[in-house]
Amino acid sequence: MIDPDTIARAAKLLHDHRDSIDRLDAILVFTLAERFKHTQAVGVLKAQHDLPPSDPAREEQQIARLQDLALQADLDPEFATKFLNFVIQEVIQHHKQHQT
């Protein structure tokens, strides 16, 4: 039989971890919103100056930069790359909308 105090401590730890996760999820959402505000402005600027919606050289630099940051943060660089590629594709789609 598991000690009730042990169960209570585990439940408290679980609650604390979940609270932290919820705060971090909020930070991620608001950070992504801020990022997309800037990329929307870039899309408008590109459309106004007849620039292509994607910049493969910049994307490559950003992926390398994010992989380095992921290593520093002890995050799987492959996951970070997949995440950034997803964000980049969304941004390009938004930029294409400004081109029309």
Judged against a pLDDT cut of 90, whether residue 2 lies above it is answered with no
Contact 54, 99 (CB under 8 A): no
- What pLDDT is stored for residue 98 in this prediction? 75
Q: Where are the beta strands (DSSP E) in the chain?
A: none
Judged against a pLDDT cut of 90, whether residue 21 lies above it is answered with yes
Q: pTM here?
A: 0.78
Contact 88, 61 (CB under 8 A): no
Q: Distance between CA atoms of 80 and 68, rounded to whole angstroms?
A: 10
